[in-house]
Amino acid sequence: MAKKVLIISSSLRNRSNSEILAQEAARGAREAGHEVEFISLKDKDIRFCRGCLACQKLLKCVIKDDAMAIVEQIKNADTLVFATPIYYYELSGQLKTLLDRCNPLYPQEYRFRDVYLLTTSAEEGDEVYKTAVGGLKGWIECFPESRFAGVFSGGGVGIENIAAMEEFKTVLEGAFQFGKQL
């Protein structure tokens, strides 16, 4: 069954490793027959949540920036994939800020059920992204009809490997296959 998949890349660097892998996952999802939207946060104006909670009554944020259009796309997707570089064993700040701004969704109906994380990091190993997974799971718990559905880790492809990313055929193929399985 075809799904509406939303992939959000949170790196602020052009042609970053996490964005390259996210695009491969998008390619795989399209090949599997899904409708895919791809959003990069690198050129978006996304400000910090003020914690005013006006969104709980208005069902939208009072801050006028790019976040609300993205939140609407999140609301209407069946499957979410958040792509992030791992900084200090955690989600990127841009992604965390966007997740905070999803607060208007809390009292609303939403379509997304499966939520995935795609990560890149200089270091290899499951322990590198575990804290980031915990952070995302905390967000998911606020949406009881959704679930954490899995993670794809591009461990070992840190910033020093940007120019050589195409040499990481195994990781690229893994991201593509990850996308096909969404």
> Which CATH number does the domain housing residue 38 bear?
3.40.50.360
Look at residue 168 in the predicted model and tell me its pLDDT: 76
Domain that holds residue 13: 4-180
Look at residue 1 in the predicted model and tell me its pLDDT: 87
**pLDDT tens sequence across 8-46:** 999 999 888 899 999 999 999 999 999 999 999 999 999
Question: Based on the number of CB atoms within 10 Å of its own CB, is 147 exposed (0-12), middle (13-18) or buried (19 or more)?
Answer: middle
Give the Cα separation of 2 and 157 in Å (integer): 31
> pLDDT (tens digit, 0 to 9) for every residue of the chain, 182 residues total?
899 999 999 999 988 889 999 999 999 999 999 999 999 999 999 999 999 999 999 999 999 999 999 999 999 999 999 999 998 999 999 999 999 999 999 999 999 999 999 999 888 888 889 999 999 999 999 999 999 999 999 887 765 555 555 567 888 899 999 999 99
**pLDDT tens sequence across 104-114:** 999 999 999 99
Residue 142 makes CB contacts below 8 A (sequence gap 6+) with: 106
pTM score = 0.94
- Total structural domains within the chain: 1
